Chains A and B, each alone.
Chain A
């Protein structure tokens, strides 16, 4: 709690990480302010977990630097470990121990004395509404409760920076909503929260979002500005001959997002353009969708890829067969 408010919570410059021939991170630069809620949005395998592994001292970068609260995470490992809390994708609590014993264990690992361990454990149990489950073995908890225990575990030392790596993995919609409500309450007293997700709805709660794909940041801005890139709306077309339709659109000066299926077109006034398209396109239009731009659309536009397999594989209702 000693650093000045001007020091970035996280500062990463030119960060590269290779696993043998695989390039997991290909030059990441970002700076996250104290008190900021920051999302890393990208599909599985984009490098989010690798970035967290480096920031949490579990891995070392191939090149580049990473600092937490102004301290280099490779050089000052112990100081970094004191400053951060992290929730991993995988469960990281001992299943056979009770919730209370799990938290006490973590308190001891963080060097708290017996009295402080007790005090902090009880505080966290109340704060995360786990008092009622405190004496149950972790394996008997519901998925949502278990993630709250993970959160409590990461908060044992009251960290200035909290990392959440796909922390809602495997939770149903209800439990996910509850989890984020809890997390939003944690940005108190200048604590920064950096979280990775491949659900765009989750990223919306962030102050800023970095869209990350194949080890690189492809865009970084507020959710509003990211979506503003897309103009007024997004039109999706499915036709009897997409290739021909695409060609025609390009000739007419429209800019369908390259490589995206179905045809995706952004326009500042979709409502007025759709009738024209329907009338003039030389191929038969089978389906039209007009939506306000979403983060998913931004990602599709920038990378030509979907955020998650689920969204890509889910055809709209009523559609027979796949999009491609």
Chain B
């Protein structure tokens, strides 16, 4: 089991470091949000404390507020897209070569999730280097952002793997993931506080794993007062549950081998 996971992670990391362009390009978007959107919006917006209760939270600036949100954006996109290697490998025969090896299917799923998370965390770590430029008080609690990042990266990677396991077309995969990820990102409260948002948005946010991830990171960086969800324990539990369920659903697809493949051309086939 462990050697199987290791083999898959090694493979993906070897490939990742051969495509450094992706690493650099993946950082552009979060940095844009942080420094252009964050500075622009922040200058024209005077934000009150969350929940609208004056004096209950310390003053903070917008850029610092969205930093955890931007972090989740970076993790979300790079982790989810890491799953696309599965689709590429399916288009040629490479994934079959993996499937005929006596490696446990669970090891393939876990390996894929871990390697996607690692790739996202490399980007996240680079982004974290900009933390001192933010108007954020660094304390011992700040360190908690690291486990929060790991949890978030694993969740988003598992999401990408669970989706990629079902695709045979590299054309459709990015379109569909984008269609799913953008609403998840917008609803997560990454760019604005959820506390004053309409009730329907708050309800939807409860169904959005990205919201829990943002909330944990925000709590670690800005303090409990800025957290939206009831308790950090709940958020950790929700994210862990997502990781397990999504990984399991991908493993189930891998168990079926080629079996879900329809005859004829495999392009644009949606695997169930």
Does A305 sit at the interface, judged by CB under 8 A?
no
Shortest distance from the beta carbon of A58 to any chain B beta carbon, whole Å? 4
Q: A110 near B97 (CB under 8 angstroms)?
A: no
Q: Which of A25-80 contact B (CB under 8 A)?
A: 53, 56-60, 78-79
Q: B99 near A105 (CB under 8 angstroms)?
A: no
Interchain CA distance A96-B102 in the complex, whole Å: 24
Does B259 sit at the interface, judged by CB under 8 A?
yes
* Residues of chain A lying within 8 A (CB to CB) of residue B258: 53, 58-59
Closest to A108 in B: B7
Q: A108 near B6 (CB under 8 angstroms)?
A: yes
Q: B100 near A97 (CB under 8 angstroms)?
A: no
* Residues of chain B lying within 8 A (CB to CB) of residue A90: 92-93, 96
Q: B94 near A94 (CB under 8 angstroms)?
A: yes
Q: B92 near A109 (CB under 8 angstroms)?
A: no
Partner of B101, one of A89, A91, A109: A109
Task: Return the CB mask of B99-111 against A: 1 if under 8 Å, else 0.
Answer: 1111100000000
Partner of B10, one of A22, A53, A108: A108
Q: A58 near B102 (CB under 8 angstroms)?
A: no
Q: B98 near A109 (CB under 8 angstroms)?
A: yes
Q: Which of B1-58 contact A (CB under 8 A)?
A: 3-4, 6-8, 10-11, 14-15, 18-19
Partner of A88, one of B11, B93, B257, B263: B93
Q: B101 near A81 (CB under 8 angstroms)?
A: yes
Does B262 sit at the interface, judged by CB under 8 A?
yes
Does A246 sit at the interface, judged by CB under 8 A?
no
* Residues of chain A lying within 8 A (CB to CB) of residue B11: 94, 97, 105
Does A194 sit at the interface, judged by CB under 8 A?
no
Closest to A78 in B: B102
* Residues of chain B lying within 8 A (CB to CB) of residue A88: 93, 96-97
Interchain CA distance A59-B257 in the complex, whole Å: 6
Does A20 sit at the interface, judged by CB under 8 A?
yes
Q: Which of A124-172 contact B (CB under 8 A)?
A: 153
* Residues of chain B lying within 8 A (CB to CB) of residue A109: 4, 7-8, 98, 101, 103
Shortest distance from the beta carbon of A49 to any chain B beta carbon, whole Å? 10
Does A259 sit at the interface, judged by CB under 8 A?
no
Shortest distance from the beta carbon of A63 to any chain B beta carbon, whole Å? 15
Q: B3 near A92 (CB under 8 angstroms)?
A: no
Interchain CA distance A243-B65 in the complex, whole Å: 87
Partner of B93, one of A19, A59, A91, A105: A91
Which residue, B6, B15, B99, B102, has most C-beta atoms of chain A within 10 A? B102
Closest to A80 in B: B102
Q: B102 near A81 (CB under 8 angstroms)?
A: yes
Interchain CA distance A111-B89 in the complex, whole Å: 21
* Residues of chain A lying within 8 A (CB to CB) of residue B103: 109-111
Interchain CA distance A89-B258 in the complex, whole Å: 14
* Residues of chain B lying within 8 A (CB to CB) of residue A22: 263
Q: A20 near B263 (CB under 8 angstroms)?
A: yes
* Residues of chain B lying within 8 A (CB to CB) of residue A153: 97
- Residues in chain B within 8 A of chain A (CB atoms): 3-4, 6-8, 10-11, 14-15, 18-19, 89, 92-94, 96-103, 257-259, 262-263
Pairs A-B, 7 closest by C-beta atoms? A90-B93, A108-B7, A92-B93, A81-B102, A92-B97, A109-B101, A58-B257
* 13 A-B pairs whose Cβ atoms sit less than 8 Å apart in the complex: A22-B263, A58-B100, A59-B257, A81-B102, A88-B97, A91-B92, A96-B19, A105-B7, A105-B10, A109-B7, A109-B101, A110-B103, A111-B3
